Structure 1
Amino acid sequence: MDVEGNEPDPRFTLANERTFLTWLSTSLALSAGGVAMAAVPRDVFVPWVRTALAVVLVLLSALAAAMAYPRWRLVQRALRRQAPIPPLALAPLFGYGIAAVAVLALVLIVLAR
């Protein structure tokens, strides 16, 4: 990372680091959810739907992990330059993606009963 700019308040740097670690934790949780969805017995959900949900969760997991460090770096650069924090462009994708998986899983759970 470039060191251009001023050293930001350590509290901001540490908050940025906690956010980075939270993205990694979120990635791990999404991955675990995808693996769990893939392990659901065949008679609970339609197999292709179960697989699709698992794939979406694991893809979201990979995206969260892959974007964690670049996001940390962009925010750290903005802090050093005392510039506005860049918006999180992928927030809608994560929010709507996880919501869609949750709603579809809920529908399938209700229909399976």
Structure 2
Amino acid sequence: MERINSIIYCRRFEKDSETIAYSPAKVDEVANLIETKKTNNEIFVCLPVFVTSTYALYDLDANVTYGSNSYIVNNKPDNFCKFYIPIKDITLVQGADIDLDNH
């Protein structure tokens, strides 16, 4: 069963639009990993994120149709892989509970 458990917002420069990465990792795990990497003065954090068949970040908004009481995931992500994200680019980590199979 595929689930999105955390949403990671990233922005390289202030005027850039945010890049959104969806992760199967629990939000507490992601937050703790980021905090540990910051404490150790590391530059990147390696996080599992959902991707398409071309290894582009999965875009949930582009693949969902909303109904009055439910939603339909038109195309699920093909897989997830480890992405190295610069820690200073992460602006927000949000908890989620999105079931990609049963909705």
**TM-score normalized by the length of structure 2:** 0.30
Q: Counting strand residues as a fraction of each chain, which structure ranks higher?
A: 2
**TM-score normalized by the length of structure 1:** 0.28
**Bigger Rg over Cα:** 1
Bigger relative contact order, structure 1 or 2, given CA contacts below 8 A and separation 6+?
2
